[in-house]
Each structure stands twice: as structure tokens, then as C-alpha cells.
Chains A and B, each alone.
Chain A
Amino acid sequence: AQSVTQLGSHVSVSEGALVLLRCNYSSSVPPYLFWYVQYPNQGLQLLLKYTTGATLVKGINGFEAEFKKSETSFHLTKPSAHMSDAAEYFCAVTEGAGGTSYGKLTFGQGTILTVHP
């Protein structure tokens, strides 16, 4: 079974400040991990993903995340927030190689990011 916990349903930062969105997961097999962003009335856009290899993953729009197996975490960061980053962010997990249900994404509850001028 898999689960995802996103700490903080709302995060507020000032423009130019560091963005840190927290995600912890549980998985019985090595996971594949994803971060998605959702703007109002739109679908989900993939920011970045971790499957295998390098644990520091760079994505679009200046976001990156680090897979830490020992901490079962996959936190999302961006050095300098921009007004256009205001949206809802979802962390998701699926089973990686060896899993039998890797077609299913399990999502966290989402974190709404607000960026103040």
C-alpha cells in the first residue's frame, strides 16, 4: 500500500523568497515520485519526477526536489518564488520497478501556495 502526506495545506511566501513544500511517502516497494501543479480550473501539470538514478531532480520553472530514502521524503523547493507560482501543488507516488500496481498514482491532499508581492 502507498500513501502520501503533504505537510501544510497552505503555504504563504513573499515574492523572491524560498519555496519549500513538504512531502513524505510510504511505499512497500521502491517508489516513483512526482510533483504536479494545478492552476484554477485546469488539469495537473507535471513539474518533475523521480524514478531511478540521481536523487536530486530538476523540473520546470526552476523547481527541484530531492529523494531521501532514509527520510521517506520528496520535498519540493524553488530558490526564489514568483507571483506566477501561486497554485496548488500535489505530491504523488506510484510503485516503481517490481511493483504490480504502478499504473496507479496515489496523491497527497495538496498544498496551496500563495505568493505575496
Chain B
Amino acid sequence: KAGVTQTPRYLIKTRGQQVTLSCSPISGHRSVSWYQQTPGQGLQFLFEYFSETQRNKGNFPGRFSGRQFSNSRSEMNVSTLELGDSALYLCASRRDREGYTFGSGTRLTVV
């Protein structure tokens, strides 16, 4: 069974640009959440979507946004990129209260 698929795997952007990351959950999983991983701050929750609705949001500025489509695929967008946005962005999907399954992540480098 296919896992959580994140695209692209690597991305290099310039300060001030915007970026969109994509996540395809495991078939049948309706919940998708996003996390940012940095050496300094560790793993931090960005937001969670369930049936196209944002159900929970972490403590990130409004430059970070997301959405979920009717097929449960999700995208997150970061506008006006800053150097500090360089991180591994992880997507996770789950069905009900089962353990979250994570993708391999998108490594974003802002230069």
C-alpha cells in the first residue's frame, strides 16, 4: 500500500518568494497534518486538515497557509519566504485515531 507522498523532495527558493508543497495521504486517510522540523526548534505542528476543513492550527505566522482538496490531498503555502523558513516540512496522514504516518518530507532551503 502506498505511503504518504510529498513533492518535491528538495526545493531551493530565494528570500521573498513563495512556495507550495504538496502531500498525498494514504488512501482512505482523511486527516492530513503538517510539521516543520528545524535543528533549533525541533518538530513543530503547523496545521491539520480533515475533510477539507482546517481543524487545528499551530503557532505560526499568517505567511504559512494550507488547504485540503476533496480527494484529501493537501498543499501548504509559505509566502514572502524568510531565511528562517529553511526546514524539513513533513506531512502526516491518519485515519481516525490511529498512529500518524509520515511522508519523507520536503527539504526547503531559502537563500
Looking at chain B's contact residues, the main secondary structure is strand
Given A34-B99, A101-B56, A104-B56, verify A43-B33 contact (CB < 8 Å).
no
Stretch at the interface among A13-21, A62-70, A105-113: A105-113
Q: A-B contact count, CB below 8 Å?
A: 55
A105 touches B33 (CB 8 A): yes
Please state if B102 and A43 are interface contacts (CB–CB under 8 Å): yes
Minimal beta-carbon separation of A7 from chain B (angstroms): 15
Q: List residues of chain A with CB within 8 A of the CB of B33.
A: 103-105
Interface size on A, residues (CB 8 A): 25
**A90 near B43 (CB under 8 angstroms)?**
yes
Q: Is the CB of A43 within 8 A of B42?
A: no
In the complex, what residues of B have CB within 8 A of residue A83's CB? none
| Interface flag for A28 (CB, 8 Å) | no
Within 8 A of A (CB), among B78-96: 90, 92
Residues on A with C-beta less than 8 A from B99 are 34, 46, 49
Given A32-B97, A51-B97, verify A103-B103 contact (CB < 8 Å). no
- Chain A residue numbers with a CB within 8 Å of B48 are 103-104
The list of the 4 closest CB pairs from A to B, nearest first, reads A107-B43, A103-B48, A43-B102, A44-B102
B residues with a Cβ closer than 8 A to A are 4, 6, 31, 33, 35, 42-45, 48, 50, 55-56, 58, 90, 92, 97, 99-105, 107
A-B contact pairs, 19 of them (CB 8 A): A41-B107, A42-B104, A42-B105, A44-B92, A46-B100, A46-B102, A49-B99, A51-B97, A90-B43, A102-B97, A103-B31, A104-B33, A104-B45, A105-B33, A105-B43, A106-B45, A107-B44, A110-B42, A110-B43
